[in-house]
Amino acid sequence: MRLWLLIGALLAQGAPPAKVTASVRRIFGPGAEVRTLTVGADTVLRVARGDSLLGFAMVRAVRGKDQPITFLVATDSLDRLRDVDILVYREPYGGEVAYDAWRRQFRGKTATDRLEVGKDIRSISGATISVNSVTLGVRRALADLAAWHRSGAIR
């Protein structure tokens, strides 16, 4: 039942499940146990190994110029951003937001960081729309995950 909820939620975000699992495995390493938690309309993946919590991950989409950009945000057990993955990019330009060289700027950020283009996040010339959209999406997802974890909505 819960698995179908998970698949349903992911499909709604336009994320191929194989990509989500590959992303979670890349970020948290092999052998991690995943279970799904529901907070409002969001499905959060809780990632653990044995008794120790590794962190959380969530799939969301933001609009680029005209297409959704589907991305995954993963945090560690202390609510620091572990990594961002661009799961599906559909726009004709701006696909450079999927490059590790750009995404790695987000690692270690917390909900108290600004996460603002031109400030603590460098832009990519010629990819302004995607850079702004993804940065805003990551900022909101990180804030939500941290707030939910603090409040006990996810644990």
Partner 1 sequence: MPRPIAHLGLVLITLCAATAVPLGAQESTTVGGYGEVHYTNPSGRNTPAEVNLRRFIVYLAHTFKDRLAFRSELEVEDAKVEGGSNGGEVALEQAFLDYRLSDRVTLRTGLVLPPVGIVNETHEPPTFNGVDRPAFDHDVIPTTWREIGVGVVGTVPVTEGLSYRLYLVNGLRAESFSAAEGIRGGRQEGREATFANPSLTGRLEWVRPGLRVGGSFWYGGTTAGDTLLGTGTFDAPVALFSADARYERGGLALRAVAVTIGVSDADTINGLYGTAVGSRISGAYAEAAYDVLRLLVRGTSQRLNAFVRHERYDTQADVPAGTTRDRGFARRITTLGLSYKPTWNTVFKGDYEVRRTAAGTGEGETLRLGVGYQF
Is 62 in a helix, a strand, or coil? strand
Q: How far is the CB of 85 from partner 1 (least distance, A)?
A: 12
**How far apart are alpha carbons 124 and 73 in whole angstroms?**
20
**How far apart are alpha carbons 66 and 140 in whole angstroms?**
20
The answer to whether 86 touches 103, Cβ cutoff 8 Å, is yes
* CA distances, 98 to each of 71, 88, 147 (Å): 9, 9, 26
**How far apart are alpha carbons 43 and 89 in whole angstroms?**
21
For partner 1, the binding residues (CB under 8 A) are 2-3, 6-7, 10-11, 14-18, 20-22, 24-25, 30-37, 48, 65-68, 70, 88-90, 92-93, 95-96, 99-102, 105, 116-119, 122-128, 132
Instruction: Decide whether 37 or 153 has the Cβ nearer to partner 1.
Output: 37
* CA distances, 82 to each of 7, 109, 125 (Å): 23, 8, 25
Q: How far is the CB of 147 from partner 1 (least distance, A)?
A: 20
Q: How far is the CB of 148 from partner 1 (least distance, A)?
A: 15
Q: How far is the CB of 38 from partner 1 (least distance, A)?
A: 9
Instruction: Decide whether 30 or 40 has the Cβ nearer to partner 1.
Output: 30
**How far apart are alpha carbons 102 and 94 in whole angstroms?**
12
Instruction: Decide whether 65 or 140 has the Cβ nearer to partner 1.
Output: 65
Instruction: Decide whether 45 or 73 has the Cβ nearer to partner 1.
Output: 45
Instruction: Decide whether 10 or 138 has the Cβ nearer to partner 1.
Output: 10
Q: How far is the CB of 93 from partner 1 (least distance, A)?
A: 7
